[in-house]
């Protein structure tokens, strides 16, 4: 088993420009240590409705109001202006920014416990046709590989991505390599469970990391399965 850079087509070149935008890094950094409630704030704002800061301060009194816990409020204050900048983008650009932010957030969290965190990489196995789509984020530390696909919302979870992750895990196993595979989704566990409930694609060996459990990426390899809602 080995990793390889994905080939750069026109889409990838455009997307690389978005990935490199400092705004992506700012949002991701602000979300790294944020509690789940603040990640939800980011999701709500970047869903792209009101671009009025006052509206969001009204909608989230327990995060941004005078009564909010100071640490939570500080995290929310860091996220709000950057999320509003993303929300102000046109619909098509906003979709790409949102995807890039989930990837960047995933990569930053993984970088806290791994040294070789890479982006847009293929996983190659001898005698197995190469997958068309690269994996969004990979950990390539010697002897401890991991692969991640990232989604803005549960709606992005489809049979194709579940098959691709499971295929990689199984092929690695055939090469006697343990390859943890995971889907990182900036959506709630409840919503991901609904989405996964009607899929017949293999997923027993795939971890699903949600808005509630993202912080755990920095602490260890996520276990297969979907953690339940935390309240």
Partner 1 sequence: MTVPGPVTVDDAVRDALDAYAGLQAVAEEVEDEWMYVQDLAAAHRERLEAIAAEDAGRPIDLAAAHRERLEAIAAEDAGRPIHAAVAAGITAACEEVGRITDPHRAIDWLSTFPSVVAVALGREP
Q: Interface with partner 1 includes 60 (CB under 8 A)? A: yes
x/- mask, partner 1, residues 142-181, rule CB under 8 A, reads -----------xxx--------------------------
Q: How far is CA 221 from CA 41, 112, 207, in A?
A: 26, 12, 9
60 vs 125, beta carbon nearer partner 1: 60
C-alpha to C-alpha distance for 84 and 106, rounded to whole angstroms: 21
11 vs 198, beta carbon nearer partner 1: 198
Q: Interface with partner 1 includes 10 (CB under 8 A)? A: no
Token pair 């500080």 in the structure block, residue: 74
Binding piece for partner 1, criterion CB under 8 A, among 16-24, 53-61, 138-146, 158-166: 53-61
Q: Which of 39, 108, 169, 171 binds partner 1 (CB under 8 A)?
A: 39
82 vs 186, beta carbon nearer partner 1: 186
Classify residue 181 by burial, with Cβ atoms within 10 Å: 0-12, 13-18, 19+. Answer: buried
112 vs 155, beta carbon nearer partner 1: 155
| Angle of CA points 114, 179, 43, to nearest 5° | 65
- Residue 92 CB, nearest distance to partner 1 (Å)? 12
Cβ neighbours, 10 Å, residue 231: 5
Ordered DSSP codes for 112-139: TT-S-EEEEEEEE-TTSPPPSSPEEEEE
Residues near partner 1 (CB under 8 A) are 36-37, 39-41, 43-44, 47-50, 55, 58-63, 65-69, 153-155, 187-188, 190-191, 193-195, 197-198, 211-212, 229-231
């Amino acid at each position: 088993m080995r990793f390889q850079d994905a080939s750069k087509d026109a889409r990838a070149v455009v997307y690389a420009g978005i990935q490199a935008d400092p705004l992506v890094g700012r949002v991701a950094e602000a979300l790294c240590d944020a509690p789940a409630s603040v990640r939800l704030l980011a999701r709500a704002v970047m869903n792209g409705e009101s671009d009025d800061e006052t509206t969001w301060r009204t909608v989230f009194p327990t995060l941004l109001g005078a009564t909010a816990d100071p640490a939570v409020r500080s995290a929310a204050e860091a996220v709000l202006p950057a999320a509003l900048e993303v929300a102000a983008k046109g619909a098509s650009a906003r979709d790409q920014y949102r995807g890039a932010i989930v990837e960047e957030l995933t990569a930053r969290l993984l970088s806290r416990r791994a040294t070789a965190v890479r982006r847009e990489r293929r996983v190659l196995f001898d005698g197995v046709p190469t997958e068309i789509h690269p994996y969004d984020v990979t950990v390539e530390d010697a002897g401890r590989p991991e692969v991640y696909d990232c989604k803005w919302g549960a709606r992005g979870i489809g049979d194709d991505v579940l098959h691709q992750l499971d295929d990689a895990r199984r092929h690695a196993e055939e090469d006697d390599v343990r390859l943890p595979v995971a889907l990182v989704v900036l959506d709630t566990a409840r919503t991901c469970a609904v989405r996964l409930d009607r899929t017949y694609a293999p997923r027993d060996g795939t971890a699903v990391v949600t808005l509630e459990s993202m912080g755990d990426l920095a602490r260890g390899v996520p276990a297969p399965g979907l953690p339940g809602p935390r309240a």
